[in-house]
Amino acid sequence: MGRGRGPLAVGLVLAILGLLVVAQLRSQAQGQGLTQLSVQDLTELVANVTARNNQLRDEIRSLQAQQESLARAVQRGDTSSSQVRSDLTHILAWSGSLGVTGTGVRVTVNGQLPGPAVGELINELRNAGAEAIAVNGTRIVPGVVVTGDPGHLMIAGRPLSEPLELLAVGQQETLAGSLSRAGGLIAQFTAQFPTVEVKVLPQDLVVVPPTDRSIAPVLGRPRL
């Protein structure tokens, strides 16, 4: 094995020397230094060059790995941005800043109810899981309530005409069942207000408009 390695090493050194001759012609100073090197010194030089090349290859692989990692991070960033936009859209929709569409119910009230009774209808729908509610086209958000005596109802400072129509987005069966169940709110209204008729109709598509009211808190501050 030792004899086989000797000619191979010599041949390698001679090949390197051939390359170094070109460098010698370009730089006499550098060439004079190389011509003074022994075969052992040149072998060490070749080993150092080889080690440096290997180091450079490792750096290239490392940079390529970093590039791939950054590309994946960008992709994750895009996904995160999309998720943030999606979450923001949902928040704006549920808060009332954006309109909402979906399955739900239409509740019609023929007859005159007092404001608190209409508020009970709204609360019953909300407690049953309604995600968005509107009364005669006015979105129910914090600070928007129905007030007044029968025949003189007000909502958000505006007169509320009759008949009343409540739209709610949510699970049809749950919303309708909550109002129509035995002993439920409609049954109570039938006993309390005999001249008032309340109907609940499931809807495959309910459109609840956005609010025209500012929902920005005045006194509250976000806690992060």
What are the pLDDT digits (tens) for 103-140? 999 999 999 999 999 999 999 999 999 999 999 999 99
| 199 lies in some domain | yes
Instruction: List, for residues 85-94, the tens digit of each pLDDT value.
Output: 777 787 888 8
- Does this model's pTM top 0.75? My answer is no
What percentage of the chain exceeds 90 in pLDDT? Answer: 48
Q: Is 171 left (phi over 0), alpha (psi -120 to 50) or beta?
A: beta
| 142 lies in some domain | yes
CA distance 185 to 196: 13
| 52 lies in some domain | no
| 61 lies in some domain | no
> In which domain, by residue range, is 117 found?
98-208
In angstroms, the Cα distances linking 52 to 7, 8, 112, 153, 207 are: 24, 21, 91, 86, 69
| 186 lies in some domain | yes
Mean pLDDT of 142-158: 92
| 214 lies in some domain | no
Instruction: List, for residues 208-217, the tens digit of each pLDDT value.
Output: 999 988 877 7
- Identify which of 36-45, 62-71, 152-161 has the greatest average pLDDT: 152-161
Q: Is the Cβ–Cβ distance between 107 and 172 less than 8 Å?
A: no
What is the domain-level CATH number for residue 137? 3.30.70.1880
Banded model confidence at residue 7, pLDDT cuts 50, 70, 90: very low
Instruction: List, for residues 9-64, the tens digit of each pLDDT value.
Output: 444 544 555 555 445 445 444 444 556 667 776 676 677 667 767 776 777 777 67
| 102 lies in some domain | yes
In angstroms, the Cα distances linking 176 to 104, 114, 169 are: 9, 22, 11
| 123 lies in some domain | yes
Average pLDDT value over all residues in the chain: 80
Q: Is the Cβ–Cβ distance between 101 and 165 less than 8 Å?
A: no
Structure tokens at 176: 């309708």
pLDDT of 122? 95
pLDDT score of 1 more than 70: no
Domain count, the chain: 1
